[in-house]
Chains A and B, each alone.
Chain A
Amino acid sequence: MSYPSKHLLAIEGLEPPHIADLLDLAESYALLNRSGKTQRDLLKGRTLINLFFEDSTRTRTSFELAGKRLGADVINMSVSTSSVNKGETLLDTASTLNAMQCDLLVIRHAQSGAPALLSQKVDAAVINAGDGTHEHPTQALLDALTIRRHKGSLQGLVVAICGDIAHSRVARSNIHLLTTMGSRVRVVGPPTLIPADAARLGVEVFHDMKAGLKDADVVMMLRLQRERMSGGLVPSAREFFRFYGLDAEKLAVAKPDSIVMHPGPMNRGVEIDSAIADHPTRSVIGEQVEMGVACRMAVLDVLARRLPRNR
Chain B
Amino acid sequence: MRDLLITNARLLDPASGLDGPGALLVRDGVIADLGPGLTAPEGAEVLDAAGCCLAPGLVDLRANVGEPGSEHRESIASAAAAAAAGGITTLCVLPDTDPALDDPALLSFMVRRGEATGSVSLLPYGAATAGCAGKELAEFGLLREAGAIAFTDGAKAIGNARTMRLALSYARAFGAFVVQHPEEPTLAAGGAATEGELATRLGLPAIPPAAEAMMVARDIALARITGGHVHFAHVSTIAALDLIRAAKAEGLQVTADTAPPYFDLNETAIGDYRTYAKLSPPLRTEADRQAIVAALKDGTLDAIASDHQPRDADDKRLPFAQAEAGGAGLATLLGVTLARVHGGDLTMLEALALLTCKPAALLGLPVGRLAKGAPADLVLFHPDRGWKVEAGKLPGKAQNSPFDGRALEGRVFGTWKAGRRVFPA
Contact of B197 among A112, A133, A135, A197 (CB under 8 A): A197
* B322 interfacial contact with A, CB 8 Å: yes
The CA-CA distance from A163 to B319 in the complex, in Å, is 26
Contact of B202 among A91, A113, A198 (CB under 8 A): A113
Residues of A in contact (CB 8 Å), total 25
Contacts of B319 in A (CB 8 A): 87, 90, 109, 111-114, 117, 132
* A7 interfacial contact with B, CB 8 Å: no
SS class of chain B's interface: helix, strand, loop or mixed?
A: loop
A-B residue pair count with CB separations less than 8 angstroms: 68
- CB nearest to A112 among chain B residues: B203
Interface 1/0 per residue, A100-142 and B, CB below 8 Å: 0000000001011110110000000000000111110000000
Nearest-Cβ distance from residue B334 to partner chain A, whole angstroms: 32
Nearest-Cβ distance from residue A240 to partner chain B, whole angstroms: 22
**CB atoms of B206 and A196 under 8 A apart:** yes
Nearest-Cβ distance from residue A199 to partner chain B, whole angstroms: 9
**CB atoms of A87 and B317 under 8 A apart:** yes
Contacts of B206 in A (CB 8 A): 196
The CA-CA distance from A198 to B197 in the complex, in Å, is 7
Interface 1/0 per residue, A166-201 and B, CB below 8 Å: 000100100000000000000000000001111011
Nearest-Cβ distance from residue B311 to partner chain A, whole angstroms: 13
Contacts of A111 in B (CB 8 A): 319-322
Contacts of B318 in A (CB 8 A): 87, 90, 117
- CB nearest to B316 among chain A residues: A87
Residues of B in contact (CB 8 Å), total 22
**CB atoms of A132 and B201 under 8 A apart:** no
Contact of A196 among B195, B273, B320, B322 (CB under 8 A): B195
**A112 and B202 in contact, given A196-B195, A197-B196 (Cβ under 8 angstroms):** yes
Nearest-Cβ distance from residue A179 to partner chain B, whole angstroms: 12
**CB atoms of B317 and A131 under 8 A apart:** no
**Other A-B pairs, 19, CB within 8 Å; known A87-B322, A114-B319, A134-B202:** A87-B323, A90-B318, A90-B319, A111-B319, A111-B320, A112-B321, A113-B202, A113-B319, A113-B321, A117-B273, A117-B317, A132-B319, A172-B200, A195-B200, A196-B197, A196-B206, A197-B197, A200-B200, A201-B201
Could you list 14 examples of A-B contacts with CB < 8 Å? Answer: A87-B319, A111-B320, A112-B204, A112-B321, A113-B202, A113-B319, A114-B319, A116-B272, A131-B203, A132-B319, A132-B321, A169-B203, A195-B200, A196-B197
